[in-house]
Amino acid sequence: MVRNNISRKLTDWVLCNSSYSLEPAAFDTNPMIRPIGPLLASNRFGDTTGSFWPEDSTCLKWLDQQQSQSFIPFLWVVRPDAYPAGFQDRVGANDLIVSWAPQQKVLEHQSVACFVSHCGWNSTMEGVSNGIPFLCWPYFADQFHNKSYLCDVWKVGLVFNRDERGIITRDEIKAKVEQLLLENSKYKANALNLKEKVMNSIKGGESYCNFMNFVDWVKS
pLDDT 10s digits, 96-149: 888 888 899 999 999 999 999 999 999 999 999 999 999 999 999 999 999 999
Smallest CA-to-CA distance from 111 within 60, 70, 75, 59 is with 70
The whole-model pTM stands at: 0.86
> What is the pLDDT averaged over residues 190-214?
94
pLDDT 10s digits, 24-46: 999 999 888 999 999 986 545 44
The helix/strand/coil state of 147 is helix
pLDDT over 90 percentage in the chain: 63
Domain boundaries, the chain: 2-219
Yes or no: domain 2-219 corresponds to CATH 3.40.50.2000: yes
Instruction: Quote the CA–CA distance of 29 and 65 in Å, as a whole number.
Output: 47
Longest dimension (CA), the chain: 62
